[in-house]
Chain A
């Protein structure tokens, strides 16, 4: 029942507005009808007898307004889910610990991310194992993460990660993000508007290249692609070296013959020219170091019409990476240096771009959504209390109606 997840300021503003509206309605509702009479002579004798009841009615009116205001505040609280923290963006780090073999480095990476990036006021580190569990909350020392996660390591279906993702998205709000460390290849790009960012690999050597059991790999790699691409793909751990006909995404040289509709990452061997000046990362989603002055002498290619350069020189003349629809072209020279740490990230970003991604809630997400509120108790939503609040609000409104019924103008 988390409908808004408003900040404290927005919550207070909304509540004040609602109370003002309620006050205005209350005044209109109980305002006495004015009646001009020829004399108050006889009415005064009536008022003498009725005076104690008038006081009682005044108290009833005040009480009626107070209980109505309390009911409104409760209902507003139940629906708006105010956050006590500030409005700073938060980050949920989901660590896939379904595979015991790869859990330790992922937890270490999560610890590093939590320490360097921080979690924010609503952030959390969630161990996505057989049962998702919040293992680190804001303000807690990150050193606790390893010991808390250790007991959660164990084999579990990778789809359990969806439970953690949905639960985190449920607790976060616009402007926040989810960082997924590991996870199945069909991880969605976003859930309920909360972007899901795949954690970047800190080093190729740190990536467990062994594909997880049962994972269907769907990227075809042509035999003649540079070794750097192979290493980068091995780092991803979801590469299938089967025939191209079964591939979902092809990685090949631009000279390869591919089906028109097949998404592909193409290695461009053509060398159009060099402008010796810093390259600029224009649109690449990966945080590449190429945005710096490095590789100023790398030859690039001229982008084709309609092609969007990712990395280009300052003049926008020669691109190192460019993308169009489901095709990404990468300058072959960019991949020569096997020690570049950017290469896996670049390939990863290119694959993310061309691969059909799960943007709509899939079956695992829908299944996880049904019990999202129970997965991470105490995090964000108070779904169990909202119906109670609403029932209480209904009760006090009924009391309000009963109190006002005595003073209502006939």
Chain B
């Protein structure tokens, strides 16, 4: 399904990214999007430990105070601060292209997802973090890697506008494939509607097997928790074509809302346990301000 690129990255959106730049700069020092201290000791500025000097070490790192006390050479160790990668999983399944129920406006989840990815990549570029985006539907697609800096950001935008939606949602398979790639530990941003047939439990199990810090951006239509449906319906899954006859009344909508809330709570709870973030991005509202709320309480850190 082709995507209207003119509508996704329109001038209003690009202007809102400028506002996001300000938000990103307010992120406190040491709190870059994916910045975190590496366990590897190196040439940083933050002292970490000492160890005995061995031949070949940089003599500039010898702790002369300890030399005076112990008459033995010790080498000062500093934390080596390095950027951690931002791995983005972008949902491109057919469900992302479906407009809201009962609404005539052409706003779909794909637009919001692409804008969210662009906004996050913009912040990452501001902090010279490295971003890689992997699309997925029923299988992972060919992604884009090494996005860092503004030049790369524009490359990312060009890549995003070429996306199209289609296929079934198999987030669990995409997460497993991501795990098999043994990527460097970092921030895992999943931009999806999380409508995997295995449910939130299956998604969380797959996420739990990964070492990354989760940042779950759930793209949701307005009234998704309580769809404006009623009566005798034959529901058709947009992705699979499967049909389900159902009589929808208030009681059924209550049960739907309960299941929907449990689904979201499962994702939110998992993100909290991993010190990650869970954010619901509503398609009916501007995306950038919603993404900016990720940084209102500080940095996103892996």
CA distance A53 to B251 in the complex (A): 12
Residue numbers in B under 8 Å from A44 (CB-CB): 244
- Beta-carbon nearest neighbor of A58 in chain B: B245
Residue numbers in B under 8 Å from A408 (CB-CB): 231-232
Contact digits for B236-248, partner A, Cβ 8 Å, 1 yes 0 no = 1111101111111
Asked if B236 and A34 sit within 8 Å, CB to CB, the answer is yes
The segment from A35-43, A68-76, A233-241, A349-357 that touches chain B is A35-43
CA distance A47 to B251 in the complex (A): 11
Residue numbers in B under 8 Å from A53 (CB-CB): 247
Tell me whether B293 is interfacial, beta carbon within 8 Å. no
Contact digits for B252-274, partner A, Cβ 8 Å, 1 yes 0 no = 10011001100100000000000
Asked if A47 and B197 sit within 8 Å, CB to CB, the answer is no
- Beta-carbon nearest neighbor of B199 in chain A: A41
Most chain B CB atoms below 10 A, which of A40, A46, A410: A46
Tell me whether B229 is interfacial, beta carbon within 8 Å. yes
Asked if A46 and B252 sit within 8 Å, CB to CB, the answer is yes
Residue numbers in B under 8 Å from A260 (CB-CB): none
Tell me whether A291 is interfacial, beta carbon within 8 Å. no
Nearest-CB distance from A138 to chain B (Å)? 53
Residue numbers in B under 8 Å from A37 (CB-CB): 98, 101, 227, 235-238
Nearest-CB distance from B217 to chain A (Å)? 16
CB within 8 Å of A: which of B217-237? 221, 227, 229-237
Tell me whether B173 is interfacial, beta carbon within 8 Å. no
Residue numbers in B under 8 Å from A33 (CB-CB): 231-234
CB within 8 Å of B: which of A355-410? 407-410
Tell me whether A57 is interfacial, beta carbon within 8 Å. yes
Residue numbers in B under 8 Å from A34 (CB-CB): 233-236, 243
Residue numbers in A under 8 Å from B115 (CB-CB): none
- Beta-carbon nearest neighbor of B169 in chain A: A39
Assuming the A-B contacts A50-B247, A53-B247, are A41 and B256 also in contact, with contact meaning beta carbons closer than 8 angstroms in the complex?
no
Asked if B238 and A47 sit within 8 Å, CB to CB, the answer is no
Tell me whether B140 is interfacial, beta carbon within 8 Å. no
Asked if B197 and A41 sit within 8 Å, CB to CB, the answer is yes
Residue numbers in B under 8 Å from A46 (CB-CB): 246, 248, 252, 255-256, 259
- Beta-carbon nearest neighbor of A51 in chain B: B246
CA distance A53 to B249 in the complex (A): 12
Asked if A38 and B195 sit within 8 Å, CB to CB, the answer is yes
Instruction: Place the interface of chain B in its size category.
Output: 35 or more
Tell me whether B193 is interfacial, beta carbon within 8 Å. yes
Asked if A39 and B239 sit within 8 Å, CB to CB, the answer is yes
Tell me whether B95 is interfacial, beta carbon within 8 Å. yes
Residue numbers in A under 8 Å from B240 (CB-CB): 40
Asked if A36 and B98 sit within 8 Å, CB to CB, the answer is yes
Assuming the A-B contacts A39-B169, A43-B244, are A407 and B229 also in contact, with contact meaning beta carbons closer than 8 angstroms in the complex?
no
Specify which of A35, A39, A50, A407 is in contact with B234 (CB 8 Å cutoff).
A35
Residue numbers in A under 8 Å from B221 (CB-CB): 38
CA distance A39 to B219 in the complex (A): 14
Nearest-CB distance from B247 to chain A (Å)? 6
Nearest-CB distance from A279 to chain B (Å)? 79
Tell me whether A276 is interfacial, beta carbon within 8 Å. no
Asked if A32 and B233 sit within 8 Å, CB to CB, the answer is yes
Asked if B95 and A38 sit within 8 Å, CB to CB, the answer is yes
Asked if B238 and A45 sit within 8 Å, CB to CB, the answer is no
- Beta-carbon nearest neighbor of B261 in chain A: A42
Asked if B232 and A40 sit within 8 Å, CB to CB, the answer is no
- Beta-carbon nearest neighbor of B246 in chain A: A47
Residue numbers in B under 8 Å from A42 (CB-CB): 256, 259-260, 263
CA distance A167 to B86 in the complex (A): 98
- Beta-carbon nearest neighbor of B257 in chain A: A42
Asked if A45 and B255 sit within 8 Å, CB to CB, the answer is yes
Asked if A41 and B195 sit within 8 Å, CB to CB, the answer is yes
Residue numbers in A under 8 Å from B256 (CB-CB): 42-43, 45-46
CA distance A410 to B250 in the complex (A): 12
Residue numbers in B under 8 Å from A32 (CB-CB): 232-234, 245
CA distance A49 to B247 in the complex (A): 11
Specify which of A39, A41, A43, A410 is in contact with B246 (CB 8 Å cutoff).
A43
Contact digits for B186-230, partner A, Cβ 8 Å, 1 yes 0 no = 000000010111010000000000000000000001000001011
Tell me whether A30 is interfacial, beta carbon within 8 Å. yes
CA distance A266 to B197 in the complex (A): 103
Residue numbers in B under 8 Å from A40 (CB-CB): 235, 237, 240, 242, 244
CA distance A38 to B227 in the complex (A): 11
Tell me whether A54 is interfacial, beta carbon within 8 Å. yes
Contact digits for A63-98, partner B, Cβ 8 Å, 1 yes 0 no = 000000000000000000000000000000000000
- Beta-carbon nearest neighbor of A32 in chain B: B234
Residue numbers in B under 8 Å from A47 (CB-CB): 244, 246
- Beta-carbon nearest neighbor of A30 in chain B: B232
Asked if A50 and B252 sit within 8 Å, CB to CB, the answer is yes
Residue numbers in B under 8 Å from A38 (CB-CB): 95, 98, 109, 193, 195, 221, 237-239
CA distance A50 to B231 in the complex (A): 13
Asked if B247 and A43 sit within 8 Å, CB to CB, the answer is no
- Beta-carbon nearest neighbor of B252 in chain A: A46
Nearest-CB distance from B292 to chain A (Å)? 26
Nearest-CB distance from B54 to chain A (Å)? 59
Residue numbers in A under 8 Å from B101 (CB-CB): 35, 37
Interface residues of B (CB under 8 A from A): 95, 98, 101, 109, 169, 193, 195-197, 199, 221, 227, 229-240, 242-248, 252, 255-256, 259-260, 263
Supplied contacts A35-B233, A41-B197, 9 more A-B pairs, CB within 8 Å? A38-B95, A39-B193, A39-B238, A39-B239, A40-B242, A41-B195, A46-B259, A57-B247, A409-B232
The list of the 8 closest CB pairs from A to B, nearest first, reads: A38-B95, A39-B195, A409-B231, A410-B231, A32-B234, A45-B259, A410-B230, A42-B259
Contacts A/B (CB < 8 Å), 25 sampled: A30-B232, A33-B234, A34-B234, A35-B229, A35-B234, A36-B236, A37-B227, A37-B235, A38-B98, A38-B193, A38-B237, A39-B238, A40-B244, A41-B263, A43-B235, A44-B244, A46-B255, A46-B256, A50-B247, A50-B252, A54-B247, A407-B247, A408-B231, A409-B232, A410-B231
Interface residues of A (CB under 8 A from B): 30, 32-47, 49-50, 53-54, 57, 407-410
